[in-house]
Structure 1
Amino acid sequence: MKFISWNVNGLRACLKKGFLDFYQEQKPDFCCLQETKMEQGQADIDLGEGMLEYWNSAEKKGYSGTAVFTPHQPLSVRYGMGKEEHDHEGRLITLEYEKFYLVCCYTPNSQNELKRLDYRMEWEDALREYLMELDKTKPVIYCGDLNVAHREIDLKNPKTNRMNAGFTDQEREKMTTLLSSGFTDTFRFLYPDLEGVYSWWSYRFSARKNNAGWRIDYFIISDRLQNAIKRAEILTQVEGSDHCPVLLELDI
């Protein structure tokens, strides 16, 4: 099965930059999107016959939002994690299948001057608890823009970015804790020491041209799915957003 995750930074804008061509070229089993910045029906999205769409849009218009496109009918669908304080920004969709849960996530950014870091820490603890609870029932495939570069090799300039949003000690520690709780970062599982491969670049300072990027988009799976990993790639050549898509193939 092929899974793709992409922060499209506004799906309506990305549609004008080749999203549908990319989708038809890849034909994934599951396409998980973050930062859709829209509600279902606000754009014409022709994915082909038999495609199912699941949307979780933020209450605030034009902000955040997630979506999953798939031809596979789920057993159940859940929007959010069932916690009032975390379920207003359209950040989480969970699809249940016979052999796994698929969780599409857009993690809150800690923002300038880390003004949302305390909330981010609460989110991380609640989300980890949620994933661990799912994992008790069946394996989890967790993906999205997780807004953290975990290790120094996950961004171009670790020294100058330390304690900036996305590379604070606190955020990195939460990722370490998650991965110590029965989960695997699929890209690092296959490429533990590979440097210079990123999934997000600032629009400023010719960052993408100079590959001054961050790896903040992930596929994380339950440890017991490690042997099912066939491919885990970051599709750096694909444009259309300030993020590029990430891909996972599992024999499941």
Structure 2
Amino acid sequence: MMGFKIVTWNINGLRSFGGSQQFRSAIFEQFDSQADIVCLQETKLSRSSLTEWMAFVPGYTSYFSFPSSEANHLTRHSGYSGVATFVRENSNCRPYAAEVTFINDVSEIFANDLFDHLEEDSLFEKRWSGKFKWNVDDDHISWRQVDREGRCIVTKHSIQIDETDASHNHCKEWLYVFNLYCPRNDSSRPDRELFQLKFYHLVERRIKALFEDSQSCNYIIVVGDFNTAHRPIDVYNDDEFCYLGSNSRIWLQELLDQDRLVDAFRHINGDVNGAFTCWNTQIGGRHTNYGSRIDYILVDRRLCQYMLNCHHLTNVGGSDHCPVMVQFDDRIRFICPDHQYYSKHCTKQWPEFDPIKQPGSIRRFLISNRSKENQNNDQSGSSSHNQSIIDKLKTKQLQQTKISSFLTGVKQIRSQQQQPLATQTIAIDSTTVTNAPTDQSEKWRQLLEAKSKTEHIPLCTGHGLPCVRRKVRKSGTNFGREFYQCSKPSLKPDGHPETRCNFFRWIK
């Protein structure tokens, strides 16, 4: 009954994983078993900063979307937005097509439907008129601008479902996976709410078109960081998180009210409390589970009967979000394309990763020379020629001066310069420590012990635990001063046993 798995995770910067092995182990190897489709949000990359270890993971093909240079409002941002979808090769789920935009120059999935900007403006204004206020002239945000922040990847997969219902439509079945990183409603920037709602509008527009396509049997799964919480149960403190009555919550509720998509986590787990996916790391919110659930997997209602589970992988670190995984049974099967075509959005198709297509690449030079050497080796009489080259190399190697000979001379000079140190007396706060210099670690141990005896570490009043030393980093009159503070890592919520108490004392 083991079917396919989809994982979504806001990783808050792909470069933070450091390298190939760390990235692979952090994202792909720590799940209970390999996921078939891994959707990542907030990669914070541009195409020029994407490296091979990010793009190529063994067993997967990758699809990336970046903020476009056409988005002139992002010219001052470095490392912003971005999504990536990794698809496992040996599970037959290689997509037939992929798309990274919702309007205008779409070609592989969505029809180039001559997006009418004025018509969409009219529909948008009609829907949200009176819900929030914006100045059409001063706060104008174009649809193209919304579509150019690298916030979506849609992949199209062929599937087959074991269906016993006689009324089931036997036309070709397609599964569309939407990987989204929805904009955040920044309270300090009123224009971002308009930006967020316009992005939601584009998403819903494409979902609706796929559902209403009578020529195909389309199924849809929407995953990602929605940057809103659906219900009050999805945040620790609804009043403080400011989702109550928000337009983003209204949009999500209306999307689910259409009865086509289902919140997979709530469908499987019900109204469980404290099920969050995002925490503020600056206040240590993960230690007290002071968070919110803003990462979702919305599943086509017709696929709910095939879902086995959906859960939050809260033990996975590396980001202020945790991954969310959904698993389906084996009645849903992927059908691999019968051709070797890869989408133009697949990194395998990009010239910067193909040495043959890079005229100035040194890898192209090495590969071409290597191929010439292989051809020469295959020619008759090449064995004697190669043997003569090897003999010359061996002779040259024997004549080379080894670097160890230089190091030997340095060692001799150092050994002559080293003299036995006399026994030293160290005075620390009226405590005299006499130490032979033969063991430097013992000297440091006595030094630290003597210091700890003179330093009295207070206990915090809230928990009775030893305090920690901290230093003022903010510029001002107290910059650089040290103080004692409660050692608990979290600042919220108030009254929680793991929340830092108010103990504070300057260190003189």
TM-score (norm 1): 0.92
Instruction: Determine which of 87, 90, 101 is the counterpart of 1:80.
Output: 101
Is residue 2:35 matched to residue 1:28? yes
Deviation string, structure 1 residues 125-176 (Cα, Å, up to 9, x no partner): 221121121233401011000101111110111122235xxx5521111001
For residues 95-119 of structure 1, give each alpha carbon's deviation from its aligned partner in whole angstroms, at most 9, with x where no partner exists: 0011311110000111133521122
Question: Which amino acid is 1:142 matched to?
Answer: V
Contact 2:261 2:301 in 1 (8 A): yes
1:242 deviation in Å?
0.5
RCO greater where, 1 or 2, for CA within 8 Å and sep 6 or more? 1
Q: Is 1:170 equivalent to 2:230 in the alignment? A: no
Q: Does 1:62 align with 2:79?
A: yes
Which of 198, 203, 215 matches 1:127?
203
1:152 aligns with 2:152: no
Unaligned runs of 5+ in 2: 69-73, 105-143, 160-174, 333-508
Q: Check the 8 A contact 1:156/1:196 in 2, yes or no.
A: yes
For residue 19 of structure 1, report the CA deviation from its aligned partner.
3.7
Cα distance in 1 between the residues matched to 2:197 and 2:157 = 29
Taking the aligned partners of 1:43 and 1:226, their CA distance within structure 2 comes to 37
SS in 2 for 1:244: coil
Give 1 or 2: higher helix fraction: 2
CA–CA distance in structure 2, aligned partners of residues 155 and 15 of structure 1? 32
| Larger radius of gyration between Structure 1 and Structure 2 | 2
Q: Does 1:52 align with 2:128?
A: no
Q: TM-score, normalised by structure 2?
A: 0.47
Q: Distance in 2 between matches of 1:74 and 1:37?
A: 24
* Contact residue 8 and residue 14 of structure 1 kept, 8 A: no
Amino acid at match of 2:187: N
In structure 1, C-alpha distance between the alignment counterparts of 2:319 and 2:22, rounded to whole Å: 10
Match of 2:296 among 218, 226, 231: 218
Return the alpha-carbon distance in structure 1 between the equivalents of residues 18 and 185 of structure 2. 28
Does the CA-based 8 Å contact 2:146-2:195 persist in structure 1? no
Distance in 2, matches of 1:15 and 1:157, equals 35
CA RMSD, aligned part only?
Answer: 1.9
2:318 matched to 1:240? yes
8 Å CA contact retained: 2:146, 2:198: no
Number of aligned positions between the proteins: 248
| More deviation, 66-75/29-38 | 66-75
Could you say which residue in structure 1 is the equivalent of 2:366? Answer: none
The answer on 1:6 being equivalent to 2:9 is yes
Contact 1:5/1:33 (8 A) holds in 2: yes
The 1:15/1:141 distance shift into structure 2, 3 A limit, reads farther
- Counterpart of 2:280? 202
Whether 1:113 and 2:188 are equivalent positions in the alignment is yes
- 3-state secondary structure, aligned to 1:80: coil
Shift of 1:68: 0.4
Which residue of structure 1 lines up, in the alignment, with residue 151 of structure 2? 91
- Shift in Å, 1:25: 3.2
Give the AA of the match of 1:234: H
CA displacement 1:176-218 (0-9 Å, x = unmatched): 1111121100001112210101110012221111110110001
Whole-Å separation in 1 of the counterparts to 2:227 and 2:238: 15
Cα contact 2:147–2:199 (8 A) shared by 1: no
Give 1:18 shift: 4.4
AA matched with 1:37: K
Question: 2: CA distance between counterparts of 1:162 and 1:172?
Answer: 11
Contact 1:200–1:215 at 8 Å: present in 2 too?
yes
Secondary structure at 2:285 match in 1: coil
Asked if 1:102 corresponds to 2:177, the answer is yes
Q: Per the alignment, in what secondary structure is the counterpart of residue 287 of structure 2?
A: coil
Could you tell me how far apart the structure 2 residues matched to 1:228 and 1:86 are?
Answer: 35
Deviations 1:222-246 (A, max 9, x none): 1111111111011111100000101
Q: 2: distance between equivalents of 1:114 and 1:156?
A: 24
Distance 2:95 2:189 in 1: 37
Could you list the runs of 5+ residues in structure 1 that have no partner in the other structure?
Answer: none
Match of 1:190 in 2: 268
Q: Distance in 1 between matches of 2:151 and 2:246?
A: 23
Residue 38 (structure 1) shift: 1.2
